[in-house]
Amino acid sequence: MNRLRLWLLAVGGAGLAALLVAACLDLPGFGGDRHPYGDRAVHASLLRHTANTVASVNFDQRAYDTLGEMSILFAAVLGCVVLLRQARDEHRAPPEPAGVARPVRRYALLVLPVALVTGLYVIAHGQLSPGGGFQGGVVAATALHLLYLGADYGALERVRPLGVYETTDALATGAYLVLGLAPVLAGTAFLANTLLPYGTFNTLSSGGTVPLLNAAIGMEVASAAVVLLAHFLDQAVEIEEEHGS
Amino acid sequence: MHVLPYLVAVHLFLTGCYGLATSRNLIHAVGCLAVCQSATYVLLLAVGYRDGGTAPVFSDIRPGSRPVVDPVVQALTLTDIVVGATVTALLLALVLQIAKRHGTVDPDELRELRG
Amino acid sequence: MRHLLPLLVALPLLGAALLVATGRRLPRVAVEITGFTVCGGTAALALVLLLNSAPPLTEWVGAWPPAGRESVGILVVGDGPALGMATLASLLTLAALAYSWRYFDAPPHGHTGAYTALMLVFQGAMCGFALAGDLFNAFVFFELMSVVAYALTGYRIDEAKAVQGALTFGIVNSLGAYALLMGIALLYARTGELAMARIGHGLDAAGPGGPDALVLASFVLVLTGLLVKAAAVPFHFWLPDAHAVAPTPVCMLLSGVMVELGAYGVWRVYGTVFAGPGGIPAADLTRALVTLGALTAVTGAVMCWYQRHIKRLLAYSTVAHTGLFLVGLGVLTPEADDGVALYLLGHAGVKAALFACAGALLDRFGSVDEHSLHGRGRPLRATGVMCAVGALGLAGLPPFGTALGKAVAEEAVGGPLTVVYVAASAITAGAVLRVTARVFLGLGPRPRDAEYETSGSHEEPETTGLLSRVPDTMTTVPAVLLAAALAMGVVPGFGALVARSVGPAGSGGAHWTAHGVLLGVASTALAVALAGLAVTRPDWTAAPGWAAPLRRLQSGHVGDYVAWLLVGTTVLGALALPGVLGS
C-alpha cells in the first residue's frame, strides 16, 4: 500500500469526519416535528385525490425529477448496450443447454407467474399503496429471469426478444415525455396534472395523470431491467474471446 | 441519542471512502461506492422521520388521524436508489471491459494512464 | 414563453427515445439527420429564449405556482446565464454531431442510433442542469449528465486506456455527486426546502447570527460535488485520464462545456443559497475559490507543458483554464462575472476546435503522440493552420473572444492574480504552439522520451481504418468554431450583450481597454517565445527535478484520486472555517 495515499486518507478522512460530526450535532433532533415541505406535499396530494403521497410527489409534484431519473435509467441502458457490445476480437457461441435440479425447476416455474402478477399489481396500485412503477417494474423484470434459473438460457432468450424490449423502453420514455408535453400544447406548464379529472379518492383511476405516468415508468423500468440483465448475461454466457487472434 | 441515525450515515460514507481508496479489486471498489451512496439513503430518511409517524399513504388511514413521516425525502430516496443502481450497472460494465482489455481488475496493476 | 423552458430538456430526450425506438430500422444517414434536426431545433429554441430572458423567465414545472411563498413544485430558472449555458451546450452538441458525421466506424450491431441518442440525452442533461432552480433537480440532471458522459467516454471498448479512463471518471464523479447529495440532505434538514432561493431564505431565517457547522458542512459537500465536475485541484485527477481517451467529438463537449458547467454550478449555488447573512461570508468564498482556482491554474499549466499525448495536453489546458474561471468567479464582482462569461464562451470555441484538430491527426495517423508524429503532419496544412490559430486564441491574442474575456477578468481580479492569468494562458498556449511546430512543420530535433508519462502512439483510429484524407466535416467544424471565437471579440456589442445577460445590474459592459490588449499581446508573445525555446532547445525546457513528483501524483490509480478528494473536502472546510468561527 502506498504510504502517501494512507497519509492523505488519514488527513482527509479525519477532516471530513470532524466536519460531518460537527454538522450532525447541529441538525434538528431525530424524529422532529418540523417538515414544512412534507406537510405541504401531503396536503397537495390529498387535493388531487392521490392516496399514496410518495406517488403524488414522484408523478405529480416533482414529476420533473422523475423525468430526469427515468432518463438516467434510459441512458444507462443505452450506455450498457454500447459498452457491452461485441468487441472486434469476440464472437458469439450459442450456450449449451444446462441441466437443472428438479426441485429448482419446479419452484422457479411455480413462482414465475406469481412474481409476474405481483409486479404488475404493484405497478397498477402505485398511486394507492406503497410501490409503483419503479418497484413493480423491477419485480416483473426479475420474474422473467426465473426462467433462466428454472430452465436454461435458451428458454429465457425465447421469451425475451431483446429488440421488442428495447423498443418498449424507448416508447415508454417517449410516452412519459408526450404526457408531459400535452399540457404545454394546452397552454399550461410542462407535466401539469390538470388535463384529466382527479377521480374518486382511493380508486385505481384517481389522481389524474399520476396512474398514466406511473404505468409509463413501470413499462420503462421493466423493459430496461430486462435489457440491462440481458447484456450482462450475454457477456457471461454467450460472448467469447477469439482464441489465437 | 437523537443524533445517532445521522452519525450512522456519516460512518457509512467514511467507510465507503476508506474502502474505495484502499481497494485492491475494482468490483469491490464499485461496491464501496454503493456503500457511500447508502449513506445518503440513511441521511435522507433520518432527516424525514417524525416520532410515531407512519407511512404517508392514506388508502387505509384517515388523513390527519396519525402523524406521517416526510414523503418528500422518500421520493428523493427512491430517485437516489434508481441513480445508484444504474450507475453501478454502468461501472460494472466498464469493469468487465477492463478485465478483458487489461487482464486484471486490480487498480494497482493498471499502468496505462499516468504522468 | 416561460412554458417552453422545460422543452430544452424534453425535446432532446424525445429525439433520443425516437432514435432508439426506430434506430434498428433506419439507415445511418436518417439517424444522423434526425439527430441534427432535434439538436439544432433545441439550440434554436434556447437562443430564442435567451433573447427573451430579460426579465428572467421562471417556470414552476407541473403548474404548481407558489401559494403564498411556498410551492411543492420544481422551479426552472431561465435567466441570462442559465439560458446562455444551455445555448452554448446545444450549439456545441450540434458542432460535435456535425464533426462525427463521418467519424465513427460501424455503430453497435442493430443499434444504429445509440451514439446519436446518447449525444442528445447529454444535450438535454446539460440544459436541465443549467436551468435548474431546485437543488435536488440540479443533482438529478448532474447525475444524468455524468451517466451519459461515462458511457460516451468508454465508447471505444477495444481501447484499454478508454475503459480505464471512463471507470476512473465514473467513480470519482459519482463520489462527488453523493457528497453533493449529502449536502442537499443537510440543507433540507435545516430549512425543509429544496428550491435554491427558498433554502437561501431558510438559512437566513434560521441563523441570523451567522453560519454554524451545519451550514459549513453543507457548503463544503455541495461545493465538493460541483468542483469535482469543474476539475479544481485537488479534485481534478480524473479529467486528464477521461478526456484523453474519450472519442474526440465527446471531448469537445466535455472540455468545452461540461467542466465549465461545474464552475457555473458553483456560481449559481453560492449566489442563490449561501450568499445571504445565514450562509457563508463572501470573504470565505473568495478565499476558497481564489486559492483553489489559482492552484488549479498553475497545476494545469505545468502539467500541460510536460505532456506529449496531444489530447491529454489539451485536457490539462482545460484544467488550467477552469482554474482561471474559478478565480474570476471567486472575487464576486459583476465585472469579473462578465469577463468569465465571455472567456468561457471563447474558450469553448477554441478548445473544441483544438480537440477537433487532434481528432483529425488521430484518424489520419492512428497516433496523437507529439514525439512519434514529428513532422508527419506536413500534408495536413489546414489542420496545422487551425492548430496554430487555436493556440493563439488560447493565449488570448486580441481580438479573440478569449482575449476580451480574459482582459475584463484580469482587470477585475487585479494585482498578483493577473500574473496567474497571463502565465497560465501563455504556458498552455505555448505547449499547443510547440506541438504545432513539431508535428505540422517538423521543426527542431525529435525530443527524448521521459520515464513517467502517457504516450499517445499506437491508438486505434475512431474511423473505419486510417483515413487517407481528412473529410471536409472534420476541417469545417473547427474552422467554424474558431471563427465564432474570433467573432465574439470582434462583433461590436457582443461583450455588452453578454454583460447584460449575466447580470441585470450590469457592469457597464465588457469592452477592450489598452491595458487588456497589452496583456493579451504579452501572453501571446510569451507563448510564442516558450514554444520557440522548447522546439529549438528541448534540453532547456525538459522537466526539471521538481516537476517529477507533481507528475507522479497523477498515478492513474483511482484509490489515490479518492484520497485526494477527501483531502480536498478538508482543505475546502479549512479555507471557509474563519467565517464560521468569527460569527
Q: Using CB atoms within 10 Å of the CB of residue C448, give its burial: 0 to 12 exposed, 13 to 18 middle, 19+ buried.
A: exposed
pLDDT at A1: 58
Helix axes of C401-413 and C472-490: crossing angle, nearest 10 degrees: 40
Chain B residues near residue A211 by CB distance under 8 angstroms:
none
Kindly list the domain boundaries of chain C, sorted by start residue.
Answer: 1-131, 158-280+559-583, 289-439+511-535
The model's pLDDT over C403-442, given as tens digits with 9 standing for 90+, comes to 999 999 999 998 899 999 999 999 999 999 999 999 999 9
Nearest residue, CB atoms, C171 vs list B9, B20, B43: B20
DSSP state of A245: -
Instruction: Please give the residue of chain B at the shortest CA–CA distance from A76.
Output: B86
Grid coordinates belonging to C146? 455524468
Closest approach of C59 to chain A, Cα-based (Å): 8
The verdict on A27 touching C (C-beta cutoff 8 Å) is yes
pLDDT exceeds 90 at position C27: no
pLDDT tens readout for residues C516-530: 999 999 999 999 999
Position C187 pLDDT exceeds 80: yes
SS3 category, A90: strand
C394 close to C431: Cβ distance less than 8 angstroms: no
User: In terms of Cα–Cα distance, which of A129, A127, A123 is closest to A59?
Assistant: A127
Of C300-304, C315-319, C492-496, give the lowest mean pLDDT range. Answer: C492-496
Q: Given C18, C62, C157, which is nearest A193 (Cβ)?
A: C62
Q: Which residues of chain A neighbour C220 with C-beta distances below 8 Å?
A: 19
Q: What confidence tens digit (pLDDT) does each residue in B61-89 have?
A: 888 889 999 999 999 999 999 999 999 99
- Whether C73 has its CB under 8 Å from any CB of chain B: the answer is no
pLDDT at C507 over 60: no
Closest residue, chain C, to A80 (C-alpha): C151
* CA gap C141, C144 in Å, rounded: 5
pLDDT of residue C208: 65
Nearest-by-Cβ selection for C182 from B39, B76, B115:
B39
Task: Please confirm whether the linkage preceding C399 is cis (ω < 30° from 0).
Answer: yes
H/E element holding C60? strand C57-61
Do C420 and C298 form a contact (C-beta atoms < 8 A)? yes
Across the interface, whether the CB atoms of B113 and C140 are under 8 A apart is answered no
Exposed e or buried b for every residue in C206-231, given b needs 16+ CB within 10 A?
bbeebbbbbbbbbbbbbbbbbbbbbb
3-state DSSP assignment of residue C191: helix
Length of chain C counted residue by residue: 583
Query: Touching check for B99 and chain A: CB below 8 Å?
Result: no
Considering only CB atoms, C62 lies closest to which of A64, A169, A181, namely A64
For position C546, what pLDDT does the model report?
A: 75
Average pLDDT, whole number, for chain B?
A: 93
Cβ-defined contact of B63 to A1 (cutoff 8 Å): no
pLDDT in the model for residue C464: 67
**pLDDT (0 to 100) of residue C570:** 97
d(C-alpha C558, C-alpha B20), whole Å: 8
> Which residues lie below 8 Å from residue B71, measured CB to CB, with a gap of 6+?
A38, A41, A42, A45, A53, A54, A56, A57, B48, B56
pLDDT per position as a tens digit, A90-130: 888 888 777 888 999 999 989 999 999 999 999 999 989 99
Task: Considering only residues A243 and C259, tell me which one the structure prediction assigns the higher pLDDT.
Answer: C259
Q: Which has the minimum average pLDDT: A29-33, A54-58, C279-283, C503-507?
A: C503-507
**pLDDT at residue C49 tops 80:** yes
Chain B residue closest in CA terms to C142: B83
Distance from CA of C106 to the nearest CA of A (A): 11
B70: nearest CA partner in chain C: C192
Percent of chain C scoring above 70 in pLDDT: 96
Tell if the CB–CB gap between A13 and B51 is shorter than 8 Å: no
Q: Which residue of B has its CA nearest to C162?
A: B98
Read off the pLDDT band of C207 (50, 70, 90): low
Q: Do B69 and A53 touch (CB under 8 A)?
A: no
- What's the first-to-final CA gap in chain C, in angstroms? 44
Bridge partner list, B8: none
Architecture label for domain B4-109: Orthogonal Bundle (1.10)
Q: What is the pLDDT of residue C97?
A: 94
**Residues C487 and C497 sit within 8 Å (Cβ to Cβ):** no
Q: Tell me the nearest-neighbour CA distance from C267 into chain A, angstroms.
A: 22
Whether the per-residue pLDDT at B106 is higher than 50: the answer is yes
- Cα gap A78→C20, rounded to integer Å: 8
Other C-beta atoms lying within 10 Å of the C-beta of residue A178: 15
Nearest residue on chain C to B6, judged by CA atoms? C186
| Contact residues on chain C for B102, CB-CB shorter than 8 A | 160, 164
**Arithmetic mean of pLDDT over chain C:** 91
The chains found to touch B (3+ Cβ pairs under 8 angstroms) are A, C
Beta-carbon separation of B102 and C164 below 8 A? yes
Show the cell assigned to C557. Answer: 490509480
Which of B25, B79, B95 to probe by mutation at the A interface, max A CB count within 10 Å? B79
Q: How many CB atoms lie within 10 A of CB C544?
A: 8
Q: How close B97 comes to chain A (CA, Å)?
A: 8
Is the minimum CB–CB distance between A92 and chain C shorter than 8 Å? no
At residue C108, the pLDDT reads 64
C277-300 pLDDT per residue, tens: 889 999 999 999 999 999 999 999
Distance from the Cα of B86 to chain A's closest Cα (Å) equals 6
Half-sphere exposure of C218 (CA within 13 A, CB side): 28
* Mutation target vs C (from B38, B97, B106; most C CBs, 10 A cutoff): B97
Does the pLDDT at position C467 exceed 80?
A: no
pLDDT at C509 over 90: no
Strands C57-61 and A239-241, by their bridges, are: unpaired
Residue C194 CA to its chain's centroid (Å): 26
Asked if the Cβ–Cβ distance from A89 to C158 is below 8 Å, we say: yes
pLDDT in tens, B39-60: 999 999 999 999 999 999 998 8
State the burial class of residue A121 (Cβ atoms within 10 Å of its Cβ: 0-12, 13-18, 19+): middle
The beta-carbon neighbor of C564 closest among A8, A16, A40 is: A8
| Higher-pLDDT residue of A88, A24 | A24
In this predicted structure, the answer to whether residue C162 has a pLDDT above a threshold of 80 is yes
Per-residue confidence at C105, pLDDT binned at 50, 70, 90? Answer: low
Q: Phi-psi category of C561—alpha, beta or left, where left has phi over 0 and alpha has psi -120 to 50?
A: alpha
User: Which residue is closest to C548 within chain B, CA to CA?
Assistant: B115
Q: What is the pLDDT of residues A139-151, one digit of tens each?
A: 999 999 998 888 8
Taking residues C332-357, report their average pLDDT.
Answer: 95
Q: Chains that contact A by 3+ CB pairs under 8 Å? A: B, C
pLDDT the model gives residue A244: 41
Residue C193: its chain A contacts at CB < 8 A? Answer: 36-37
| Identity of the residue in B20, B47, B86 whose CB atom sits nearest the CB atom of C175 | B20
Please identify which residue in the block is written with the cell numbers 460535435: C96
Residue C353 pLDDT = 97
Q: What is the interface pTM, i.e. ipTM, of the complex?
A: 0.97
**Who among C151, C189, C558 is closest to B90 (CB)?**
C151
Under 8 Å between Cβ of B70 and B50? yes
Contact with chain C for residue A23, Cβ under 8 A: yes
**Distant-in-sequence, close-in-space partners of C477: CB < 8 Å, separation ≥ 6:** C95, C98, C99, C353, C356
pLDDT of residue A63: 95
Mean pLDDT, to the nearest integer, of B24-52? 95
C94: exposed, middle or buried (Cβ count in 10 Å: 0-12, 13-18, 19+): buried
Q: What is the pLDDT of residue C181?
A: 97
* Greatest Cα pair distance in chain B: 64
Q: Which residues of A fall within a CB distance of 8 Å from B75?
A: 54, 57-58, 62, 65
Tell me which chain A residue has its CA closest to the CA of residue B49.
A31
Residue C547 has pLDDT above 80, yes or no: no
